[in-house]
Structure formats: structure tokens, C-alpha cells
Amino acid sequence: MPIRIDNDLPVKKILEQENIFVMDENRAMSQDIRPLDILILNLMPLKEDAELQLLRSLSNTPLQVNISFIRTVSHEAKNASQSHLERFYTDFNSIKDRKWDGLIITGAPVETMEFEEVEYWDELTKIMDWSKDNVTSTLHICWGAQAGLYYRYGVAKIRLEKKFSGVYKHYTFHKRTPLVRGFDDSFLVPQSRYTGVDKEAIVNNPLLEIVAESKITGPYLIIGEEGKNIFVTGHPEYDTITLDQEYKRDLAKGINPDIPVNYYPDDNPENKPIKSWRCHANTLYTNWLNYYVYQQTPYEWTKKA
């Protein structure tokens, strides 16, 4: 897929080096095509890392996609330069008066806090309310999934006895569901979280459907209102070394973390991790863009009832 992003976005060079088709603004304007407009609310502290991971994952469809980034204004990012944020990000007030084909809400390192205690909770809920009438489909990732399930459907967050960290085996249900088309019977997903979601509350809600889960980490892919909202409780977009970086960061903090499950060869942190989840990650994002955004969004939003 040709991803259309700002010509000066720093991760553009990395994507091109990885042979990912990135379309510049001039070429995009020359094509007589209606691209998809995807908005990414990036709540991750390392903004550029999250940008790169998500753009990789969105790069495997023949559709042309325009990517725009927004950030919260009620929280000051401490790990991203102000110049980067001012150059490549906008805020909710700047985008709220138009329609969007898709919205991605990322995870955030605030999962041990109560939702209402998060500094930007009111701003986030305002965006989620707005998306009901202004976005075709919203994809929520990790903490973003927990926040969305809680705010939209009243599904509680559950504190785990110990952190899920590693690459876990997951299984699909209802293989005809478009979101999991092309998935194998089992597949691997990185998980990195201290909290989970209330499975019973999801099962008992007629608006929600679990389509993939892990026997260890619980529900993984949840569809709300036939795809209006989609929740991904893990991190399929993670790079090969992301869990390694988190593990060594926690060691340096004296947290004494467990070695990530099924991640290092021979469970030896001295060994280089092997990425074993990219195919299913790419398929997930491709299916979301195709079946829940492209196939559902109107060519002209004004014609949507």
C-alpha cells in the first residue's frame, strides 16, 4: 500500500529503507483516487517509535491511505521533542469538524492508574464520543482497548497478579469473521501489560464479540457493533526488539522482571530475539482497513445517512 505521510516525517527514511512504499504528497495529488483518511491518536511516550511501528503495520494493502497524527493537549509529552510535535502533530480541535474513515487509539503507559485519574481522560472520552458520528471504524490498541471497552461498553479493567510480558499463542473463533480472515488456527502476539479485561462482561454484552483469545492472556480481538469499534489487547505492531528494550529498562529500574515468555531463543536474554508475529500483525491491519474501513466508508461522507 502506498502510505501517504508528511514528506519530512523522520521515520519516512526508515520506511523507504525497508522497501515500504511511501508516497510523497506530489505523487498522491496526481492520482485520481479517493484515498482513505486515517487519524492516529498517539498516546505512546516514544512518539517516533510508535509512528514507525504503526506505519509498518498499515503498509500491506493496495489502498492509498492518508495518515494524520494527533496528540492530547491536556498532557505534555516528555519523551518527544516539541519541534517534532509541532511539525507533525495536530490536536483534536483542528480535526473535529470533518469526517474520517478510520481512527487508531494507541496504548499508553498508564494502565495501573484508574481511568478517571489519567491526566487526559476527559480529552480522550471527548474524542471517543466524537468518533461515534465522525469515524467509520475505530481501532483501539492495548491500554487504548481497555479504555475504549470501559468507556464505550462498561467493561472493567482487572489488575493481574503478575505482568504479561512475552509472545503468547492465540487462537481464533468464527474464522469467517473478516477481521481474522487469513489467520492460522494459532498465531503469536506480543503482550506487555499489568492489567486485563473482564471476559465475562464482554461475553454478556450483545454488542461485543470475541474473535480471538489466548488461554493465558485472555481475550485478544474484540469486535464492537459489527466493526464500528475494534479492540486489540496486545501489541501486534511491536518491533523485534521492543520487548527486549522494556525488559532491560525494567532491570535497570530494579524491578526484577521475569524474562519475556517465548521471546529469547533458549530463554536467554543474551540471544537475539526472533520476530514471529509480523505476518498475522500485517493481516490484522490489512483486514481492518479493507473490511471495516474501505468496504464500509462512503465515497463521499455527505452521502452517508
Q: What residues are annotated to the active site?
A: 142, 235, 237
Q: Given the C-alpha cell 483486514, which residue does it identify?
A: 287
Beta strands at 3-4 and 22-23: parallel, antiparallel or unpaired = parallel
Query: What phi and psi values does residue 249 have, to the nearest 5 degrees?
Result: -65, -45
Cell of 265: 531463543
Cell of 6: 508528511
- Name which of 171, 39, 165 is nearest 111 in CA terms: 165
Helix/strand/coil (H/E/C) assignment for every residue in the chain = CCEECCCCCCHHHHHHHCCCCEECHHHHHHCCCCCEEEEEECCCCCHHHHHHHHHHHCCCCCCCEEEEEECCCCCCCCCCCHHHHHHHEECHHHHCCCCEEEEEECCCCCCCCCHHHCCCHHHHHHHHHHHHHHEEEEEEECHHHHHHHHHHHCCCEEEEEEEEEEEEEEEECCCCCHHHCCCCCEEEEEEEEEEEECHHHHHCCCCEEEEEEECCCEEEEEEEHHHCEEEECCCCCCCCCHHHHHHHHHHHCCCCCCCCECCCHHHCCCCCCCCCCHHHHHHHHHHHHHHHHHCCCCCCHHHCC
| Residue 175 neighbours by CB distance under 10 Å | 13
